[in-house]
Amino acid sequence: MRRQIGRAGWGWTGFSAVVSFIYFFPVLWIVLTAFKAHTDALAIPPKWIFTPTLENFVSVFARAYIKGQTAVDTNFDVYFFNSIFIAGSSVLIALIIGTLAAYGFSRYPLKGNNTYLFIILTTRMLPPIVVIIPIFLMFRVSGLSGTYLGVILLYTAFNLPFTIWMMKSFFDELSPEVEDAARLDGSNGYRVFFRVCMPQVKAGLAATAVFGLILTWNEFLFALLLTGVETRTVPVAMAQTIGGDIGVRWGLLAAIETLFLIPVVVVVYVLQNHLLRGVTFGTIRR
Amino acid sequence: MSTIRLRKVTKRFGSLVAVNRADLDVEAGEVLCLLGPSGCGKTTTLRMIAGLEDATEGDILIAEQRVNHLRPSQRDIAMVFQFYALYPVLTVAENLAYPLHYERLAKEEIAKRVKRVAALLELESVLERTPGQLAEGEKQRAAVGRAIIRDPNCFLFDEPLSRLDIEQRQVMRGQIKELLSGLSKATVIVTHDQLEALTMADRIAVMRDGNIEQVASPHRIFTEPTNLFVAGFIGTPRMNLVEAALTETGEGHCRFELGGQRVRLPITRPGLSAGSRITFGVRPRACEFTSEPGDDTISGTVDLVEPMGAETLVHLLHGEQDLRVVVDRTIRLAVGEQAHLRFEPESVHLFDESGRRVEAAA
Amino acid sequence: MATQAQAAAPGGLKQHFSNWRLALVIAIVAIPGSVFLFPLETAFWVSFGAVILVTATVVTRAWGRRPGPLLVAPALATLLVMNIFPLLWSLGLSFFHFRANRLSPPRFAGLNYFEKVISDPNVWDRLQTTAIVVVLTVGIQLIVGFLLALMFEREFPGRRILLMLVLTPMMLSFVAVGAFFRYYYEPTFGLLSQAVRLVTGEPYILLASPEGAIAGIVFADAWMWSPFVMLLVLAGLVSVPKYLYEAAEIDRASWWRRFRTITLPYIRGLLLLALLFRTIEAFKLFDVVFLITEGGPGTSTETIAVYLYRVSFQYFKTAESSALAYILIFIVIVLTNLYLYFVQQREKEEEAPA
């Protein structure tokens, strides 16, 4: 049967599957490594078939592994908690004030609305290293450095531009007629916002939250310079594991990344339609 | 010879039957209109002829060759799309020249042909513009121009006039008809507008739910609709279709009972016997009001009067039925008035219980 | 809303607290003044206080008025305190002799550090490295992303699942990508070295040569971000009306002509956006370099962001780094402006009837 324009059959699926799996291979190998014992991870030649072990996953959470005669505390349970706590709180705060602001920018444009939005986006586009220099000084002087409060505040500011642009793009898509109708029916501003607008952008809100969580979770430089021993996040701890003088525990790193891979893959699958908007900070919708 | 033939062509999308065993013949130089309500399968039929959809079953023949297995580009056809499908970044001249590139013609030859078509369709002044800068009518002419610039096996038009305003439609209807009459190609035009079909077509194929209900000349489609659907679909205002009973068949006449009233008409229907349930059809322009009731009239109350300019549309309430009658604007009737209606006997259509037309002669 | 505004109008106290112009004047006087008069810590707190004052008056002013300013006030206040103020502070610092790890008070330096940075061959060298990396990685991303998009343009069974596989790298953390490419590039047991050894019999140390190190970084970054370009191109391909392809098929256009006259015009705009966005992002390239090569061998892969990190946090040349940072800020602002200009351009085109 002839091929229809824009449609392809199983043959194309086969071809695409091969390409996709080659592309995905580095991730796949990480996952395999996560299930390898330390000696298997360093094997020459690389082992395709091995006895899977959960040892690496255990050492992520069991706090310790044995190195020679001494138990070394991985502390990764603390870092996981930190990452989740910091990302969660800052995304939540950013979501609340960012959504309000996005609604304001979308429905009640200020004088110079676009200039505000441009400046807001620019703070997000700047290289983190540029932004961090003064913040580092500010935190040192104010004593916020290394505290949860400081880090959460910082990540709130980090998430805000993204949240505002994302949510504004969702609000811009709503038909204003529905809100006008609600106003004519006697709803006040709060009712219009909470009862009419918010239910329509629920999916957008969820997408924004999830992207914010991933971006915050992945962030490295701010965390490297501004978290202390107590507030260290997973990426920093991973980087330090690599830099350590003891042999790098590749299996452990792989296990950590594999643990985080699952939510990422689920998100990519579920939010496929919002992905473009997410990775362009809400500047491109379609 | 430029012909199109469909032989028992069926198209299924999953469990949905879009086109059901369609048979169709379009001869060289003939214009056939596929007419029907939206979703009847007329566009799918056209797209199967073009090769943009595969037929699930049956054969499609273009120029007497079976083309089911051929790609659209191999079928040597020209098509005008509903949304014109002009290439947005190319100028009108480049759009017109687009189908010629395949033939590897010399530049001068292409320019000559573009010039000729542009002159034919009055596009000379906009040749250097892109489609975005054109008025709706110019886009439409450019799309037609791109189709006729080649010498294809046949022409296909998908709702060619649907995006034009009423005035432009009238002009383009004439223009397209004139163009096509000089080309002696088989042409299929899809439309949902019966006026378009009646004016442009040599023959009309009326479709419903994937089935071709009737294929005939515009005149016959109008005067001898083959079933209730065609009768109701063709003609504005709609034909009056009234459930009735045939009470008596006599020599040269029949008696009917319509909504509790009896009427005697000088017609014969050998195919029907007394006592059968029928549907009685008469067009709004095929009846007239009389001052006195008679045995060939029925009575009703004037329910609504709609002036339409030269004529007036009167709604007559007859029992439960609403009968539409078009009368000259000089005839004045007031709402609530009693009126008596006489039917032109030769324009009465009778349909049996299955909805098929009953002919006057056996 | 109206009643609140009326209530606020006669209250003199409220009027006073919302006088943001006065607060701004105070801030403008207080900040440079305190920098000259007091030690740095005190000056910082005075300046911070002044910024809080300005923020507070702006928020107070927004309160009880039209909903627009009120809604955006909390967000703007946060950004003002956490982003704008620090940036202005560092702009100020770039005019002073100042090192964050010394206690000596800042001395005015004028444009000294800007001159120094601009005339510094190291900076130009790092900018050159950055340019090479940006051109290579963005170029590869555009090509690979484009090809992937052509593959995923069609509908086929299992498309969504395979798309998920290809899109995943983009959402991984830089640290994870950096860490694992380091693992793959490892001289003894790394996959790359072992693959090469199958052919040459020798272990292969990619990161030993400057070219190899740059290739390693570019490969990791391009692998991670090609899906981004693919997403944009895919969005462009999907927006092409199907009937244009049908018309081209009936007009017997060749593949190349069809691509040139139909496909390309629809994705050109998005390709440009992808190019700009990826350029801005690649310009910031830090994490991957930091984790894979740490700038080495020598300084051959030290991008401008890594260099800036070293200047500010290893050598603690705070003033110099601030001056350099402002040059980068300028570049990014220009690129971002350009990017948003084309975004708006595209939105206008989309809104215009076809």
The CA R_g of chain A, rounded to the nearest whole Å, is: 23
Tokens 């190019």 map to which residue?
Answer: C275
Tokens 């990396």 map to which residue?
Answer: C133
Interchain CB distance below 8 Å, B52 and A1: no
Query: Looking at residue C65, what is its pLDDT?
Result: 62
- Cα gap B41→B203, rounded to integer Å: 18
Domain count, chain B: 2
Q: Could you tell me which chain B residue has the CA closest to the CA of C249?
A: B73
| Best to test chain C binding among A106, A129, A154, A270 (most C CBs inside 10 Å) | A129
Query: Looking at residue B329, what is its pLDDT?
Result: 87
**Which pLDDT band holds residue B181 (cuts at 50, 70, 90)?**
confident
Query: Looking at residue B191, what is its pLDDT?
Result: 92
Closest residue to C244, CB basis, from B79, B85, B146 = B85
| Best to test chain A binding among C41, C66, C72 (most A CBs inside 10 Å) | C72
Other beta carbons within 10 Å of C29: 11
B54 Cβ under 8 Å from any chain A Cβ:
yes
Q: Domain check: are B224 and B245 in the same one? A: no
Interchain CB distance below 8 Å, C243 and B79: no
**Distances in Å between the alpha carbon of A58 and those of A255, A261, A264, C302?**
9, 17, 21, 37
Residue where one domain finishes, among candidates B173, B201, B229: B229
Least confident segment among A10-19, A84-93, A117-126, C183-192: C183-192
Q: pLDDT at residue B30 above 50?
A: yes
Q: Domain check: are B76 and B204 in the same one? A: yes
Tokens 């009847």 map to which residue?
Answer: B40
- Cα gap B206→C20, rounded to integer Å: 75
- The answer to the question of residue B235 being in a domain is no
Q: Domain check: are B255 and B221 in the same one? A: no
Q: pLDDT at residue C14 above 60?
A: no
pLDDT in tens, B66-122: 999 888 888 889 999 988 889 988 999 999 999 998 888 888 999 999 999 999 888
Other beta carbons within 10 Å of A109: 13
Query: Looking at residue A124, what is its pLDDT?
Result: 85
pLDDT in tens, A142-183: 788 888 888 898 899 999 999 999 999 899 888 888 888 888
- Average pLDDT for C295-301: 81
Selection from C145, C153, C129, C135 nearest residue C262 by Cα: C153
Q: Is the ipTM of this complex over 0.90?
A: no
- For residue B301, the domain's CATH number is 2.40.50.140
pTM for the model:
0.81
**Distances in Å between the alpha carbon of A251 and those of A54, C51, C180, C188?**
10, 48, 11, 16
pLDDT in tens, C159-203: 888 988 898 898 888 888 888 888 888 877 788 888 888 888 777
- Cα gap A30→C170, rounded to integer Å: 15
Interchain CB distance below 8 Å, A2 and B54: yes
Neighboring chains of B (3 or more beta-carbon pairs < 8 A): A, C
Q: Domain check: are B9 and B156 in the same one? A: yes
B330 Cβ under 8 Å from any chain C Cβ:
no
**Closest Cα in chain B, distance from residue A11 (Å):** 19
- Specify whether domain C116-351 bears CATH 3.40.50.261: no
Cβ-contact C198, C232 below 8 angstroms:
no
Percent of chain A with pLDDT over 70: 91
Closest residue to A17, CB basis, from C44, C90, C162 = C162
Q: Give me chain A's average pLDDT, please.
A: 83
Q: Which residues of chain B are within 8 Å of residue C257 when distances are taken between CB atoms?
A: 101
**Closest Cα in chain C, distance from residue B53 (Å):** 11
Interchain CB distance below 8 Å, A2 and B52: no
Residue where one domain finishes, among candidates B229, B248, B282: B229
- The answer to the question of residue B234 being in a domain is no
Q: Could you tell me which chain A residue has the CA closest to the CA of B52?
A: A4
Query: Looking at residue A244, what is its pLDDT?
Result: 56
**Closest Cα in chain C, distance from residue B154 (Å):** 12
List chain A domain ranges.
10-73, 76-279
- For residue B84, the domain's CATH number is 3.40.50.300
Residue where one domain finishes, among candidates B229, B248, B271: B229
The domain covering A76-279 belongs, at the CATH homologous superfamily level, to MetI-like (1.10.3720.10)
**Which pLDDT band holds residue A5 (cuts at 50, 70, 90)?**
low
Region(s) of chain C under CATH 1.10.3720.10: 116-351
- Average pLDDT for B277-300: 89
Q: pLDDT at residue B214 above 90?
A: yes
Q: Domain check: are B342 and B321 in the same one? A: yes
Return the higher-pLDDT residue of B73 and A73: B73
| Best to test chain C binding among A10, A23, A183 (most C CBs inside 10 Å) | A23
Q: Which of C310-313's residues contact partners 24+ apart within 8 Å by CB, and which partners?
A: C312/A129, C312/A133, C312/A136, C312/C100, C313/A136, C313/A225
**Closest Cα in chain C, distance from residue B318 (Å):** 50
**Left (φ > 0), alpha (ψ -120 to 50) or beta: where does A183 sit?**
alpha
Q: Domain check: are B123 and B247 in the same one? A: no
Query: Looking at residue C3, what is its pLDDT?
Result: 39
**Left (φ > 0), alpha (ψ -120 to 50) or beta: where does C120 sit?**
beta
Q: pLDDT at residue C10 above 50?
A: no
Q: Which residues of chain A are within 8 Å of residue C160 when distances are taken between CB atoms?
A: 269, 272
Q: pLDDT at residue C17 above 60?
A: no
Q: pLDDT at residue A50 above 90?
A: no
CA quadruple A274, A275, A280, A286: dihedral positive or negative? negative
Q: pLDDT at residue A275 above 90?
A: no
Closest residue to C188, CB basis, from A30, A44, A120 = A44
Q: Could you tell me which chain C residue has the CA closest to the CA of A155?
A: C82
Least confident segment among B23-27, B305-309, C26-30, C238-242: C26-30
Selection from B332, B40, B354 nearest residue B194 by Cα: B40
Domain that holds residue B203: 4-229
Q: Give me chain C's average pLDDT, please.
A: 81
C172 Cβ under 8 Å from any chain A Cβ:
yes
Interchain CB distance below 8 Å, C194 and A45: yes
Q: Could you tell me which chain A residue has the CA closest to the CA of B69?
A: A2
Interchain CB distance below 8 Å, B89 and C254: no
CB proximity list for A211: less than 8 A, separation 6 or greater: A162, A166, A271, A274, A278
**Distances in Å between the alpha carbon of C52 and those of A107, A119, C55, C56, C77?**
27, 19, 5, 6, 9
| Best to test chain C binding among A90, A97, A130 (most C CBs inside 10 Å) | A130
Q: Domain check: are B217 and B279 in the same one? A: no
B17 Cβ under 8 Å from any chain A Cβ:
no
Q: Could you tell me which chain C residue has the CA closest to the CA of B90?
A: C261
Q: pLDDT at residue C20 above 80?
A: no
- The answer to the question of residue B22 being in a domain is yes
Interchain CB distance below 8 Å, C241 and B83: yes
Q: Could you tell me which chain A residue has the CA closest to the CA of C323?
A: A130
Cβ-contact B297, B342 below 8 angstroms:
yes
Length, in residues, of chain A:
286
CA quadruple B314, B318, B320, B324: dihedral positive or negative? negative
